[in-house]
Every structure is written in structure tokens, then in C-alpha cells.
Structure 1
Amino acid sequence: MATFKVGKADAENLHVNEKKWTKPLMEAGWSAVPSILIEKQQALGLDPVDMNIIIHLIQYWWHPENLPHPSVETIADAIGRSPRTVQRRITALADLGFLERTERRTSRNGSDTNLYSFRGLIAKLQPYAAEKIEEKNTAIAVKKARVARKKPKLVVDNPK
């Protein structure tokens, strides 16, 4: 089993997440999902089943070079759909450019579970992320300008 060095910032974030979710839930496992994916799922045309499949695949993706490869049956069991429904939805997600599937052959006639890449989904999310970052930066600049604006001086005319 590989061991990973946890940085101070990561340890602090884990501690914060434990406060939110409790230690047992965090120890059971967690996944990182970009907020922009959740926020823009409708704009991307993703329905709840698509999102469930994507989120389920994400939980298996911990290192960029180690693509997730759960079986269709594993995904189907987890989201309460038939394997055929999951297979059709994954095909649709691949056809729309959200996922890339790579077959893994074990022998001439045998195959292992597919590898799934999120390269297409990431590319489709990039413009939304850039837009959100720009909105945040604009809001920060507006706030800074408002705070820095010279305030009028109150002049009290008190004749002596």
C-alpha cells in the first residue's frame, strides 16, 4: 500500500472537513468534485443520472495518470440503475465529448473494464471556470474601489 505525505494545508483542510462531515465519514472516503461542475450541470446538459455516473467515476480518480476503471455493473449497483442504462449513458457521455473510453483487452477475445478520461469534461468546464473567476475578480475590484474611494469630509461650520 502506498503512503502519501500530507502537507500542512491538506491536513488543515482535512480537519475542517472532519468538523463538517465527522471523522468516520471522512475516514470512509471522500472525493474532490469541482464546484463549477455542480453549478453548471444544467448548462452542460447533464441530467441527474449523468451526474451520478460522473461523480461515481470521480471517486475512483485520485491521480491524473491513473484513470478510473470501475465496471458498468459496479456503477449500476451504486446508482440504482440497470447495467444497460449505465452503458447507454456512458456511450452518450462519450459521444457528447464528456468522457473518453479506452478498452482494456486481457486476451484476444477477453476484455477488462474500460478506462475513463475526463479530458472532454474538463475542456467543456474551462470556459465556465474562467467566467466565474472573472466575475469573482470583478467583484473584488469593485469592492476595493468602493473602499478606497475618497470619502467626503464633514465640515462643521461653528462660528466662534
Structure 2
Amino acid sequence: MADIDEKWGAAVAERGFAQIPNYLLLINQFLDGDHRLTPGELLVLLQLTASWWKKDDLPFPSVETLATRCGISSRQVQRALVKLEGLNLVRRVQRRTRGIIASNAYDLSPLVEFLGEVAKAFPNEFPRRLGPVQAQRLRAGLVRPAALSQPAQEVLPKSARRLRLAKSPKAPTA
């Protein structure tokens, strides 16, 4: 948190921050042209990701909340969610609170799986340099190294078959 305070200032850091994988920020580079996300769709996906604080607690912002945060209409958010579901990047989960229908929750595990496959197919070209403490922990086996040296995957998992990696000539098409 000290790095964030130093970088952004305490007032900004106190409001909170989100962990967004770089592969997610670059997702359109890995999608076939017909499946690329519009700016609104990407912003909805980023807002869902920013609302996901704990692995086992699904994010559940309402459509209206997403619309406000993204600066788009509720209808545009609904269309974005339909496309994200169609691309198998998110799954809507109905919720109830005391028997009353509440805002949907969103399962982002398909997105996690897809980005994992992207990471295997397109290893990081610019890995971070480790400091002495991280290098020592890695050598001691306390941290698992990223699989940067794995060859590109030619076959995508079932969940990612609707998407085609743009730079992979042998990737299956839908």
C-alpha cells in the first residue's frame, strides 16, 4: 500500500484500488477481429473485475451501478453483458436476498481460464526483474515461477473455443 500512496497520493489510495491483469487490458490483441470487445464492453468487463475482491465472492454490481461507473446507458451495459456471456468470458448467476430477486452476480472464472490460456500461448516478452528478496524466495521454492518458457498452445480449452487467438495460425475457429 505504501507504493500506491507514494505513487498516487494518500487521498487517492484511501479510496481503494483494483488488481487488473495486463493480459486483460490487452485482451483485444488476443481476440479474433469478429470477437473483439468495444470500448463499452471492455469497460464493463473491467468494472466487473474491479468489483471482484475475493476469489470465492462473486462480484454483484447492478446494471445501473455498472452504467453509472462506465458512463453508458443501462441498455448498453445489458448488451455488453450479453456479448461477454456469448464469448464465454463471464457467467451470470442469479441471486436472491430473503426470497427477493437481487442484482445478478458474475462468475469471472471463464475469463480467468481464458487469460490463463492466453498467457500460455503468448508468454510475457518483458518479465519483471526480481529483486534479491524475490530471487531468494524463488530459489527457496516459496514462490512458483511463471511459466514463461512454455511453448504456445495449439488447442484451446472448451471454454475458449468460441474465441480465436489473433496471432495463432493454428488456433481453432468457431
Q: Does the TM-score normalized on the shorter chain lie above 0.5?
A: yes
- Identify the residue that residue 17 of structure 1 maps to in structure 2: 4
After TM superposition, the score normalised by the length of structure 2 is 0.64
1:123 to 80, 100, 113: 113
The separation in 1 between residues aligned to 2:44 and 2:62, in whole angstroms, is 11
- Identify the residue that residue 60 of structure 2 maps to in structure 1: 69
Question: Larger radius of gyration, structure 1 or 2?
Answer: 1
- Aligned residues: percent identity? 31
In structure 2, relative to structure 1, the CA distance for the partners of 1:41 and 1:22 (3 Å cut) is farther
Per the TM alignment, residue 16 of structure 1 is displaced from its structure 2 partner at its CA by 1.5
After the TM superposition, which segments of 4 or more aligned residues of structure 1 sit over 4 Å from their partners?
Answer: 134-138
Give the count of matched residue pairs: 124
- Identify the residue that residue 80 of structure 2 maps to in structure 1: 89
The gaps in structure 1 that reach 5 residues or longer are 1-13, 139-160
**Residue by residue, what CA displacement relative to the aligned partner does 1:94-148 show, whole Å, maximum 9, x if unpaired?**
111010001113477x41100101111111111221244465556xxxxxxxxxx
- Identify the residue that residue 157 of structure 1 maps to in structure 2: none
The gaps in structure 2 that reach 5 residues or longer are 128-147, 150-174
1:79 is matched by which residue type in structure 2?
C
The separation in 2 between residues aligned to 1:24 and 1:41, in whole angstroms, is 33
Secondary structure (helix, strand or coil) at the match of 1:61 reads: coil
The separation in 2 between residues aligned to 1:101 and 1:112, in whole angstroms, is 12
The separation in 2 between residues aligned to 1:72 and 1:134, in whole angstroms, is 34
The separation in 1 between residues aligned to 2:13 and 2:94, in whole angstroms, is 32
Q: Give yes or no for the alignment of 1:46 onto 2:37.
A: yes
Secondary structure (helix, strand or coil) at the match of 1:103 reads: strand
- Identify the residue that residue 57 of structure 1 maps to in structure 2: 48
Verify the 8 A CA contact 2:51 2:59 in the aligned structure 1: yes
- Higher-helix-fraction structure: 1
**RMSD over aligned Cα, in angstroms?**
2.0
Q: Give yes or no for the alignment of 1:78 onto 2:69.
A: yes
Secondary structure (helix, strand or coil) at the match of 1:130 reads: helix
Verify the 8 A CA contact 1:101 1:117 in the aligned structure 2: yes
After TM superposition, the score normalised by the length of structure 1 is 0.69
